[in-house]
Amino acid sequence: MQWSDQAIIIGVKRHGETSVVAEVMTRVRGRHLGLVRGGRSRTMQPVLQPGNEVEVTWRARLDEHLGEFRMEPVRLRAARLMEAATSVYGVQAMGALLRLLPERDPHPHLYEALDIILENLHDPSDAGELFVRFEIAVLNDLGFGLDLAECAATGTREDLIYVSPKSGRAVSRAAGAPYADKMLALPGFLADGGAADYDSLAAAFRMTAFFLHRHVYEPRGLGLSAARDGFVQAALKALKPQSAIAAP
């Protein structure tokens, strides 16, 4: 069996003395593993770095086998991804999110989103917002999608400021007022499409962390990745108001 596809490297593991098992996110076939013979060579090591885009050909005798990858570099951006903390942590955090998905389960929109975010991880303001939207997309594909378009109680699309921790649906100011202390904050940029600031991005990270922990990590006996913590801290630090930075 054989196929070729575009792919982004999300991780590698040593296999024997000279080879590696590469983990990639493909455009058509989702997350996929494969053996790369000679993957530890000086020629292949720069190619097999997380974040790089490659053209991959997979071969195996049977579909259920691990199989072998042949790779040709398309866009080597790993070196640039090492220049900022948001990039270093972000590429690892998104890889951890993608590992929550079943292997070989196609998610073409997540591939497209991953490709776009990797091009913007160097900018903390863009990176934070795009990462939150990526987490929401992963939750949706895992069957735990959030409905932030209208109020769960009234159906209105105006003045949405809460998210119900039970249903994952938006709630308006008026409908949620009696239960405000039990609600999650709905970040403004997710409600009205505006730009993210420090407070709204911090609220967004808290919101997605809550639902990831409740629906995904806790049932699997896992915790949020350390890479995510590093990314969140780096993204928020870059957006922290100057008055807060100057305060003793």
Question: 48 and 85 share a domain?
Answer: no
- The stretches of the chain forming alpha helices (DSSP H) are 78-81, 85-98, 108-118, 124-141, 173-176, 188-192, 198-212, 218-220, 226-239, 242-246
Q: Which of 41, 61, 76 is the last residue of a domain?
A: 76
Question: 122 and 234 share a domain?
Answer: yes
**What is the pTM assigned to this prediction?**
0.93
Residue 144 domain-assigned (yes or no): yes
Cβ-based neighbours of 72, under 8 Å, separated by 6 or more: 54, 55, 56
Residue 126 domain-assigned (yes or no): yes
Question: 107 and 208 share a domain?
Answer: yes
Q: Tens digits of per-residue pLDDT, 191-207?
A: 887 888 999 999 999 99
Q: What's the confidence (pLDDT) of residue 120?
A: 93
Q: Which of 76, 100, 124 is the last residue of a domain?
A: 76
Question: 62 and 94 share a domain?
Answer: no
Q: State the total domains in the chain.
A: 2
Q: Which of 76, 92, 124 is the last residue of a domain?
A: 76
Strand partners, 36: 20
User: Cα–Cα distance between 241 and 216 in angstroms, integer?
Assistant: 33
59-70 mean pLDDT? 95
Residue 49 domain-assigned (yes or no): yes
| R_g (Cα) of the chain, nearest Å | 20
Residue 158 domain-assigned (yes or no): no
Question: 8 and 130 share a domain?
Answer: no
Residue 168 domain-assigned (yes or no): no
Residue-number span of the structural domain to which 226 is assigned? 81-148+186-246
Question: 17 and 105 share a domain?
Answer: no
Q: Tens digits of per-residue pLDDT, 139-192?
A: 999 999 999 999 999 999 999 999 999 999 999 999 999 999 999 999 999 988
Residue 132 domain-assigned (yes or no): yes
pLDDT at 122 over 70: yes
Q: What's the confidence (pLDDT) of residue 190?
A: 94
Question: 11 and 133 share a domain?
Answer: no
Give the confidence band of 242 by pLDDT, cuts at 50, 70, 90. Answer: low
User: Cα–Cα distance between 224 and 31 in angstroms, integer?
Assistant: 20
26-53 mean pLDDT? 97
Residue 166 domain-assigned (yes or no): no
Question: 70 and 95 share a domain?
Answer: no
Q: Tens digits of per-residue pLDDT, 1-21?
A: 999 999 999 999 999 999 999
Residue 162 domain-assigned (yes or no): no
Cβ-based neighbours of 149, under 8 Å, separated by 6 or more: 157, 170
User: Cα–Cα distance between 37 and 35 in angstroms, integer?
Assistant: 6
Question: 139 and 236 share a domain?
Answer: yes
Mean residue pLDDT of the chain comes to 94
Q: What's the confidence (pLDDT) of residue 241?
A: 74
User: Cα–Cα distance between 41 and 164 in angstroms, integer?
Assistant: 51
Contact status, residue 15 vs residue 7, Cβ threshold 8 Å: no
Question: 60 and 111 share a domain?
Answer: no
Q: Tens digits of per-residue pLDDT, 81-93?
A: 999 999 999 999 9
Give the confidence band of 228 by pLDDT, cuts at 50, 70, 90. Answer: very high
CATH of the domain at 60: 2.40.50.140
Question: 9 and 122 share a domain?
Answer: no
User: Which strand ranges, in their side-by-side order, compose the sheet holding 170-172?
Assistant: 170-172, 160-163, 184-185
Residues 147-158 as b/e (b if ≥16 CB within 10 A, e otherwise) read ebebbbeeeeee
User: Cα–Cα distance between 148 and 108 in angstroms, integer?
Assistant: 23
Question: 43 and 135 share a domain?
Answer: no
